[in-house]
Amino acid sequence: MTDNVLIRWIDGQAPTEISGGTTWGMPFPRGSVQGTEALAVTDAAGTPVPSQAWPLATWPDGSLKWAGVALPATGSPSDTYHVTADAGTASAAGQPPSDGSSVTVTESADALAVDTGALQMVIDRVGPSLFRSLSRHGEPVARDARLVSFLQDGVPEGAGTASRDAFTGEVTAVVLEQSGPVRAVVRLEGRHRQDGAGGKGRSWLPFVVRFYFYANARSVRMVHSFIWDGDAGRDFLAGLGVRFTVPLEAELHNRHIRIAGADGGFLTEAVRGLTGLRRDPGADVRGAQVAGRTTPPAETWNPEVSRRLHLIPAWGDYTLSQLSADGFELRKRTAAGHGWVGISGGTRAAGFCSLSDTRGGLGVGIKDFWQSHPGQLDIRGAAGSEASLTAWLFSPEAQPMDLRFYHDGMGQETFGEQLEGLEITYEDYEPGFGNPTGIARTHELTLFAYGATPSTESLAADAAAASTPALLQATPEYLHSAGIFGDWSPVDRSTPARARLEDRLDFLFDFYAGQVEQRRWYGFWNYGDLMHTYDLDRHVWRYDVGGYAWDNSELSPDLWLWYSYLRSGRADIFRFAEAMTRHTGEVDVYHLGPWKGLGSRHNVQHWGCSAKQLRISTPAYRRFYYYLTADERTGDLLSELVDSDQNFLGLDPVRKVRPDAATYRPNRGALGVGLGTDWGSLAATWLTDWERTGNPRSRDRLLGTMADIGALKYGFLTGEALYDLDRGRFDTGREQISVSHLSAVFGLVEICSELVDLVDDPAFERAWLQYCRLFLASKEEQVEAVGQALEGIYLTQAHSRLTAYAAARLQDAGLAAQAWEHFAGGGEHLNHGAAFSLRKMEPPFVLLPVDEAPTVSTNDAAQFGLAVIQNLALAGRHLD
């Protein structure tokens, strides 16, 4: 029997309610659990809790490595939970709640009907609707949910016009991915099709929508992803949203609009207001309306009001627009064709609104609303028998989305000219490569079904829950004990030297979290990313200088953040890493077209660089989030990459600098694949797919290429080997030594550490240990070992963890001491106190007050963080 595993809320305390259920991922030590049927969940009091569990990954011996675990909705969540695995005891896993309710799915030829016990949704298998109806205890609260968008054909500058066409998402496939009893997941696929064209108009913007249902839930989670497949030169997305039709029956004064503002504030109004009138309807009437309760019968009111109701304006339309990270505007009007009246404004709206009457209503919340501006919330026609509520993910009031490349190429036609440009702006330009076609974006929404107009306090709680969903997680200590993700250990401040390094790790995270806010690294395509390098003269990050702008995972900040979370359990680090994973896995990677499966190197625009490489799209960066949350969308991204070795046939990642460029041509039987960033990314892909699916192709290519690297005379030091795409194997005859300082800093270190522990391959382990031991060895040691000194040795601090790995594996105290010497040496790295202090810059010398850490770059910060984390885990006892 597995001991009780403590599961706690990531924010430290239980939420007051889980309206839609909750899911998390948790690992198990190798060989300890054979299957999810053995898992059971209890609350803090030891009472069994209904749950549903499913495998996310297995160890090579077939035992369970990662599982997704789901709990039903509840109005009284436990402070903590415990998970046990005991094959000999009846399990609560997969059992419905004790009150007999569960989520059920009924399938027919044309639809799926899902019932959580509290709400019901009917989903048509094809057509323009995401769902046909949403009901609360059988009472309809919304129907005919649709994806809507606008496409504009230009962006006039000065006088001029542009035409705008409306599109509606058309569902072409519906898949039931999970069917309960605690959790059900429905996936919809489709494309946007031009309205009014009789099915013959343009079709574009492929999308995937998932609905998540839990037993007893009164809310539904919705995850929407789309792929940009337009022409950046002529297609300008001018609006993208989800529209719901809300039926209304009550009197206009019993219809209620609730819109969340900033910092927990709310607009609370009725379509026909009864407060502030010249004649008073009565305190009980006013009080009921303000509270959202049904007002007393009109015949009991002051007749001076009741007989003049028809003269009070009905405000049927409301809009909140958040066009920047710093401001929203609220306004309303009586109906189309009449002027708008300003209500108020503010800073950062929560992205939540509801429309309801005495019989029920709909609430919608958008996660990361202001962070992913421009967004908008619209209510239209609330004075009629049915209204529309539109959650705009890209506001139609903003400037249309302009994805054109930012310069004209400046004459860089040849590789030679492009390499010259690289020397001055660090931008790897190539005509036609700054193309966004194939990038993607994901949004998360929560839909709430109400039986009446809720209290403002409960709506505020719903808005907060949609904005920052509660999450359960295992403790860092347990995650570490499970033996997952390689070399790391929980935070330890037990000695002054350790505490000093922990302080510096905290400093770097807090600095970057502050920079996101101070530099406004927000927006539809930007939120989640960081900038690459700082410009001390202008006191800005180099947002406009070629390859120094958006980081796009350069030197693995994703890994730094995820390992920082694993060892600390901090909610703020988790959400920072979550935002980065959502961004880098979607925006920085191509999901269709000739570069599908490849990512773009750092640039002024996320898609601007001509270096389209696996080192950016690698699952090494995304699998943390997938395993910790069981997120199906991230699973999609991992699955997209399974055949990514095919990309080497179409695009050589080192085509501009290849020494044998005069003779090398991509050949199925002999593709040049680097043993650093390239193979490390392929190994992460194959490992993740093998663990998730058992795919023999991925297993055989992983194990085969590991054996081939071990068989190369110089192992990893060979630098590049020729890969047979059909066999999935390397030619082991190449004898050369070619070392790059970039080979190991895009996930290779972390993946190789896992592989050595996971797979019994002594030759591969020897090859990896040779690389780790020699990279920072003295020239004399290198010559003695391989006959020559290694060239291209940079990033000493970052590579100190290679020495630490060799020290730990070989039990060599001398190497451990050298690892810490390498970590502290070299003037170009973050090894001096000045790097860990802030300087405040104030206007007028800067646009806004900002903090500077002048010598900090994202490359060094990420690699410093990883070096500290891994050196402490591998050689921590030698630190003092």
Query: In the predicted model, is pLDDT for residue 96 greater than 60?
Result: no
Q: Quote the pLDDT of residue 826.
A: 62
Statement: residue 86 has pLDDT above 90: no
Residues 19 and 60 in one domain: yes
Strand duo 386-394 + 104-107: pairing:
unpaired
Q: Give the pLDDT mean for 197-205.
A: 88
CA 552/CA 585 separation, integer angstroms: 10
pLDDT at 199: 74
219-227 and 131-136 strand pairing: unpaired
Q: Where are the alpha helices (DSSP H) in 377-469?
A: 415-425, 456-467
Cα(614)–Cα(597) distance, integer angstroms: 7
Residue 396 has pLDDT above 80, yes or no: yes
Contacts with 474 (C-beta within 8 Å, 6 or more apart), sequence order: 5, 6, 7, 24, 26, 27
- Same domain for 259 and 329? yes
Provide the residue type at 497 as one letter. Answer: A
pLDDT at residue 3 tops 80: no
Single-letter code of the amino acid located at 70: A
714, 758: one domain: yes
> Do residues 365 and 349 lie in contact, with contact meaning Cβ atoms separated by under 8 Å?
no
pLDDT-based confidence at 87, cuts 50/70/90? Answer: low
The whole-angstrom separation of Cα 546 and Cα 426 is 6
277 burial via Cβ count (<10 Å: 0-12, 13-18, 19+): middle
Q: What is the mean pLDDT of the chain?
A: 96
Integer Cα distance of 619 and 498 in angstroms:
31
For residue 853, being part of any structural domain is answered with no
Question: Domain count of the chain?
Answer: 4
The predicted-structure confidence for 332-372, as pLDDT tens digits, reads as follows 999 999 999 999 999 999 999 999 999 999 999 999 999 99
Domain coverage including residue 747: 652-794
Look at residue 99 in the predicted model and tell me its pLDDT: 60
pLDDT tens-digit profile of 405-447? Answer: 999 999 999 999 999 999 999 999 999 999 999 999 999 999 9
Of the candidates 431, 457, 484, which is a domain's last residue? 484
Averaged pLDDT, 362-389: 98
Q: Average of pLDDT values for 89-117? A: 78
Residue 681 near residue 618, CB atoms below 8 Å:
yes
| pLDDT recorded at residue 237 | 98
Q: Residues 662, 713: one domain?
A: yes
Distance, CA of 388 to CA of 644 (rounded, Å)? 43
| Average pLDDT of span 385-396 | 98
- At 189, the amino acid letter reads E
Mean per-residue pLDDT for 644-661?
94
Final residue in a domain of this structure, among 736, 767, 794: 794
Tokens of 728: 């999935």
pLDDT at residue 198, rounded to an integer: 81
Sorted by sequence, the CB contacts under 8 Å of residue 290 that are 6+ apart come out as 268, 275
| CA–CA distance, 819 with 877 (Å, rounded to integer) | 12
Are 531 and 519 a contacting pair, CB within 8 Å? yes
On whether both 208 and 348 belong to a single domain, the answer is no
The answer as to whether 150 is a domain residue is: yes
Residue 426 C-alpha from the chain's centroid: 28
Give the 3-state secondary structure of residue 270. strand
Pairing of β 472-474 and β 104-107? unpaired
pLDDT value at 795 more than 60: yes
User: CA 828, 834, 837, 841 torsion: positive or negative?
Assistant: negative
Asked whether residue 5 is assigned to any structural domain, the reply reads yes
Residue 254 has pLDDT above 50, yes or no: yes
Q: How confident is the model at residue 547 (pLDDT cuts 50, 70, 90)?
A: very high
pTM: 0.97
| pLDDT surpasses 70 at 98 | no
Q: Are 288 and 349 in contact (CB under 8 A)?
A: no
Is the pLDDT reported for residue 93 higher than 70? no
Q: Which helix (H) or strand (E) holds 364?
A: strand 360-366
- Per-residue pLDDT of 747-775, as tens digits, reads 999 999 999 999 999 999 999 999 999 99
Residue 379 lies in a domain: yes
CA distance 282 to 286: 6
> Are the C-beta atoms of 638 and 684 separated by less than 8 Å?
no
What per-residue string of b and e applies to 528-543 under the rule 16 or more CB within 10 Å gives b? bbbbbbbeeeeebbbe
SS3 at position 147: strand
In the structure encoding, which two tokens stand for residue 26, read together? 């948790």
What pLDDT does 2 receive? 57
Kindly state whether residues 458 and 477 are assigned to the same domain.
no
* Final residue before a domain boundary, out of 737, 764, 794: 794
Domain-located, residue 779: yes
Residues of the chain with pLDDT > 90: what percent?
Answer: 95
Do residues 718 and 788 both lie within one domain?
A: yes
Asked if 722 and 663 touch (Cβ cutoff 8 Å), the reply is no
pLDDT tens, 820-848? 999 998 656 787 878 899 999 999 999 99
Q: What is the mean pLDDT of residues 384-393?
A: 98
749 and 664 within one domain: yes
CA dihedral 401, 405, 406, 410 (to 10 degrees): -160
One domain, residues 197 and 315: no
Specify the 3-state DSSP secondary structure of 216: coil
- Report yes or no on 328 lying in a domain: yes
Question: Cα 173 vs. chain centroid, distance in angstroms?
Answer: 24
Tell me what pLDDT residue 95 has.
56
Residue 94 clears pLDDT 60, i.e. is over it: no
Tokens of 489: 């250990």
* DSSP conformation letters of 117-130: SSEEEEEESSBS-S
Tens of pLDDT, residue by residue over 106-130, are 999 999 999 999 999 999 999 999 9
Could you tell me if residue 314 is inside a domain?
yes
Residues 138 and 271 in one domain: no
Residues 108, 23 share a domain: no
Task: Give the mean model confidence (pLDDT) for residues 26-48.
Answer: 97
**695-720 confidence digits (pLDDT tens):** 999 999 999 999 999 999 999 999 99
Nearest 5°: phi and psi at 270?
-110, 155
- Check residue 833 and give its pLDDT: 79
DSSP of 699-737, one letter per residue? HHHHHHHHHHHHHSTTGGGG-EEEEETTTTEE-TT----
Q: What is the pLDDT of residues 492-521, one digit of tens each?
A: 999 999 999 999 999 999 999 999 999 999
Specify whether 455 is located in the same domain as 477. no
Q: Is residue 148 part of a domain?
A: yes
Q: Which amino acid is at 140?
A: P
